[in-house]
Chains A and B, each alone.
Chain A
Amino acid sequence: QLQLQVSGPGLVKPSETLTLTCSVSGASIENSIKYWSWIRQAPGKGLEWIGAIVYTGSAYYNPALRGRVTISVDTSRNQFSLSVESVTAADTAVYYCARQGETVFGVIGNNYFDPWGQGTLVTVSS
């Protein structure tokens, strides 16, 4: 059964870089024709897609995050990671990782999210 687990610090200072890792078990990132995604949810708010990566390292990002975000993949560890630079209080959120998409005739399509990791709250505060 595919499972995703987020790890990383729960507190980050303003202007610093937030870094989280999602560990995947039950499937190989390298052998999956899927995207691996980050999504966040500010306290009491809705869901915001941050970006996604495929095992080759090709990544897509939400333009709203204005180039502050980098997603990387480590297939040897079956993990993918998120970095958000120059964080402010507005980046305080629960951060989720999720598998995105399904394989349709050998390409990734139907880009919904299933399953999701449990999420971790990251607070930006001095």
Chain B
Amino acid sequence: EVVMTQSPTTLSVSPGERATLSCRASQSVRSNLAWYQQKPGQAPRLLIYGASTRATGTPARFSGSGSGTEFTLTISSLQSEDFAVYYCQQYTDWPPLTFGGGTKVEIK
């Protein structure tokens, strides 16, 4: 099983600032990585797939990068609606498909 590790667990950021979230895979997943955003009481929403391709409707301030075992999600200028929990997910080696433990982006 590919273990996904996200850091930090919590990220405190002021509105308008840049946020950088990390995701590490226990083995190479090539570029087969997705990012999701989850707000309280809601289902996760796909933001990024293929490590760097924005899903339909994802604002341009969200960008993904990386390949192999190290990945980054960057939010260039945090808006109020961006405060949420973010999960990464690998889809190279399955079953099972696996998620990271999440990073909560909170208001500083």
Residues of A within 8 A of B (CB): 46-49, 51, 60-64, 96, 98, 100, 110-119
- A113-B44, A113-B89, A116-B43 are contacts. A47–B99 as well, Cβ < 8 Å? yes
With A and B bound together, what is the CA distance between A101 and B10 in angstroms? 29
Return chain A residues, CB-CB under 8 Å to B96.
Answer: 49, 62-64
Answer whether residue B49 sits at the interface, using C-beta atoms and an 8 A cutoff.
yes
**Would A118 and B43 count as touching, CB distance under 8 A?**
yes
Return chain A residues, CB-CB under 8 Å to B102.
Answer: 46-47
Q: Is the interface of A mostly helix, strand, loop or mixed?
A: strand
**Would A116 and B99 count as touching, CB distance under 8 A?**
no
- A62-B95, A62-B96 are contacts. A116–B44 as well, Cβ < 8 Å? yes
With A and B bound together, what is the CA distance between A115 and B57 in angstroms? 12
Return chain B residues, CB-CB under 8 Å to A60.
Answer: 94-95
**Would B91 and A110 count as touching, CB distance under 8 A?**
yes
Chain A nearest CB: distance from B89 CB in Å? 6
**Would B99 and A119 count as touching, CB distance under 8 A?**
no
Answer whether residue B32 sits at the interface, using C-beta atoms and an 8 A cutoff.
yes
